[in-house]
Structure 1
């Protein structure tokens, strides 16, 4: 964490410079048994590739809106930081008809809603290890096919303005600077005390609380997150074991 960081992308850049090998996002899906751990460097590489996809292949520009019809997932976290890197607005659960680009999960209802977008449509299979669709949904590009060939380093065509809109969640708009400032200011409330703090979060990503607990807060304080999807399927004894094995210091569900 650096006091001069003004955007979520700045926070990721500082984390990468400080300790690229430490864990940043650990993801569990308790419906499938999936577990994946991404270091700062690995996560940043996914972000760079996705930002290059947005800027070079999808031709988005600062101020464009990207509707994210996605659950709390490590790939959703990647998309949020990629949007911040390019300077486009990440509209979480936003109206696809009002978006320049839509990114959908594999659920039929999500894909159907995404078809209202008149711009590019990207679909995520959300399979273990970022796997592809067996057959991509009609009218969508498969993220897992498109992203591997993108560059490992990203440089925006224009500097990202921290005072421009960066995030819309639950109907509220935030600038990049507001995301960073709120994440830092609310860290004590979440129990984030600085580097070494580790949040285990089962909260969805469709509220500020869920996004801050499950991504922005840990990133802003030098911490890390254990992001759990379908956590309600895990019994209390198994949850206690996970908290212990993952060395979680904060639990939110």
Structure 2
């Protein structure tokens, strides 16, 4: 973490400069058995490609509003940082009818059609797979993103004091996102107090909670700040990593405790 970081994209750049090979996001989907692990470098590459797609093919500009109709997923995390890189407002679960563009998962395509601007669809299939046939009226993210550039440079500087994120109806500037993320990272373990982020009664939780770089397992929705922070932003701000779990309720008895141990999780949020 760099004290001069003022946007979420800045946090990612600092993480990339300090330790590109460390794990950042490990994603599980317990409905499909999928597990994906992304290092800082791999995650940043996806962000750069997606930001190039946003700024280039989709002609998004700073201040444009992108409604994200997506679950807590590693590709959603990529879109959140890509929006920050361009200066586009990431409106999580907002109204597509008032958006400049919409990014939708397979379960929200009909709602997404209310957007009169650009529409992008994510199949959310294992290994970032594409739709068997792209939904009518949408670009298939898995088709469009691979050919994008691996380096990104915004056409205009991103203002940290402009709105960067809307979640649960609350607008946050880039600098406010960073400040909140830093505070949360401290509570999760970066503040130096042993057990700071432990969830009471959770087997194995808190093992690493006295140190910067805590590994957080989150089964929370991205529809609240708590879920976004536990599932992405606090890890970026605190030099940690996240085990992001979708359909966590599908785990068999004892499965959560095993995952906590296997993934060396320090804090559990669900």
For Structure 1 versus Structure 2, the TM-score category normalised by the shorter chain is: over 0.9
The offset of 1:235, in angstroms, is 2.8
Residue 213 of structure 2 corresponds to which residue in structure 1? Answer: 196
CA distance in 2 between counterparts of 1:221 and 1:196 reads 6
Question: Counterpart of 2:254 in 1: which secondary structure?
Answer: helix
Alignment of 1:181 onto 2:179: yes
**Aligned counterpart, 1:234:** 251
| Structure-2 separation of matches of 1:186 and 1:137 | 38
- Equivalent in 157, 161, 164 of residue 163 of structure 1: 161
* Structure 1 residue 39 displacement after superposition: 0.3
CA distance in 2, matches of 1:36, 1:185: 28
Q: Which residue matches 1:105?
A: 105
Partner of 2:127: 129
Gaps of 5+ in 1: none
Note the C-alpha offset of 1:192: 4.4
2 CA distance for matches of 1:9 and 1:152? 15
Residue by residue over 1:155-203, the C-alpha shift from the partner in whole angstroms, topping out at 9 and shown as x without a partner, is 0001100000000000000000000001111223334455431000000
CA contact (8 A) 2:188 2:214 kept: no
3-state DSSP class of the match of 2:155?
coil
Hey, what's the Cα distance between the residues in 2 that align with 1:186 and 1:58?
33
CA-to-partner distance for each residue in 1:225-246, whole Å, 9 max, x for gaps? Answer: 0000000111341111100010
Pairing 1:20–2:4 present: no
- Distance across 2 between alignment mates of 1:196 and 1:56: 35
Superposition TM-score, scaled by structure 1 size: 0.97
Q: Distance in 2 between matches of 1:202 and 1:185?
A: 20
User: How many correspondences in the alignment?
Assistant: 251
Report if the CA contact (8 A) 2:186-2:238 is conserved. no
Secondary structure in structure 1 of the residue aligned to 2:42: helix
Query: 2:13 & 2:212 partners in 1: Cα distance?
Result: 15
CA distance in 2, matches of 1:225, 1:187: 12
Bigger helix share: 1
Give the RMSD, CA atoms, in angstroms.
Answer: 0.9
Partners of 2:91 and 2:253 lie apart in 1 by: 34
**Does the residue aligned with 1:168 lie in a helix, a strand or coil?**
strand
Gaps of 5+ in 2: 192-210
Helix, strand or coil for the counterpart of 1:24? Answer: strand
